[in-house]
Amino acid sequence: MSYTLQFGQIWPFLPRLLEGAVVSLQIAVLAFCGGLLIGTVCAGVRSFGPRWLARIVGLYVVFFTNTPQLVQIYFLYFALPDMGILLSSFMAVVIGMTLNAGAYLTEIQRAGFESRRASEMEAAEVMGFSRIQQIRYVILPHVARVLFPPLSNQFIIVTLGTSMAAVFGVEELTGEAFNINAQTFRSIEIFSVTAGIYVVLTLAASVGLALLGRAVFRARTELI
């Protein structure tokens, strides 16, 4: 049995794949930004907060980093409606991925917080900085610089993870690929083009983030 590649048949569907790619990016950016916010607060709590609160954050991290993301989203999508909380599949995926990313980003940032320089904090302390001000002016900028590469990496992981949304019928890149496949049965062509789009997305993201990191860090410190 031989299979003849016929890319010609799927080119008309390219705009739909690209629309799907935009939805994928939306999910990725929402989940990553939400996760970054959660992660920053939680990492702050774990490093500097009261012990009982740090423990709660610890449980959150353990739960979300030790259960499959798919199961977490299933729970939001199918279990919450029983409690009267109805989510669209898009929202369920975004919230699920945000909580998941939040847990990983907590761990990544905690490592960054622990790389803080005690001596700089002491200098800030004797200059009258409060704890919050020390975090704001001394720790976060330093940590941002140390953490930029692993955070960029996590963004790529989140972007690729959005393909999970297809399972819930969200018409993002993989979801669109499923749909087009069902119409045309040109599986190899569809999924190789889809894979190609993911590669372009992630490469563009890595290069963009690297340039951003280089531009922002020295520049941003001037702004304080």
Partner 1 sequence: MHHLDITGLEARYGEHTVLSGIDLTVGRADVIGLIGPSGSGKSTILRVLMGLLPPVGGTVKLDGTAVNYADAAQVRRLRERIAIVFQQYNLFQNMSVLENVCVAPVKIKKRPRREVEEEARALLAKVGLGDKLKRYPDELSGGQQQRVAIVRALALHPEILLLDEVTAALDPELVSEVLDTIRLLAKEGMTMLIVSHEMAFIREVASRVVFMAGGRIVETGAPAQIFDAPVEARTQDFVSKILRH
Query: Residue 1 or 126: which CB sits closer to partner 1?
Result: 126
Q: How far is the CB of 172 from partner 1 (least distance, A)?
A: 37
Contact status: 218 vs partner 1 (CB under 8 A) = yes
Q: Which of 142, 154, 181, 201 binds partner 1 (CB under 8 A)?
A: 142
Contact status: 48 vs partner 1 (CB under 8 A) = no
Query: Residue 83 or 126: which CB sits closer to partner 1?
Result: 126
Q: Which of 87, 138, 173, 205 binds partner 1 (CB under 8 A)?
A: 138
Contact status: 51 vs partner 1 (CB under 8 A) = no
Q: Which of 69, 108, 125, 152 binds partner 1 (CB under 8 A)?
A: 125
Contact status: 129 vs partner 1 (CB under 8 A) = yes
Query: Residue 55 or 117: which CB sits closer to partner 1?
Result: 117
Terminal C-alpha separation, the chain: 66
Residue carrying structure tokens 């940032």:
109
Q: Which whole-number Å values give the CA distances from 31 to 7, 23, 186, in the listed order? A: 33, 12, 32
Angle of CA points 198, 177, 183, to nearest 5°: 160
**183-192 long-range contacts, Cβ below 8 Å, gap at least 24?**
184/9, 184/10, 184/13, 186/6, 186/9, 186/10, 188/3, 188/5, 189/5, 189/6, 189/7, 189/9, 189/10, 190/10, 190/13
For the record, the structure tokens of 100 come out as 């998941």
Q: Catalog residues that contact partner 1 under the rule CB under 8 A.
A: 117, 119-120, 122-129, 133, 137-138, 141-142, 145, 217-218, 221-222, 224
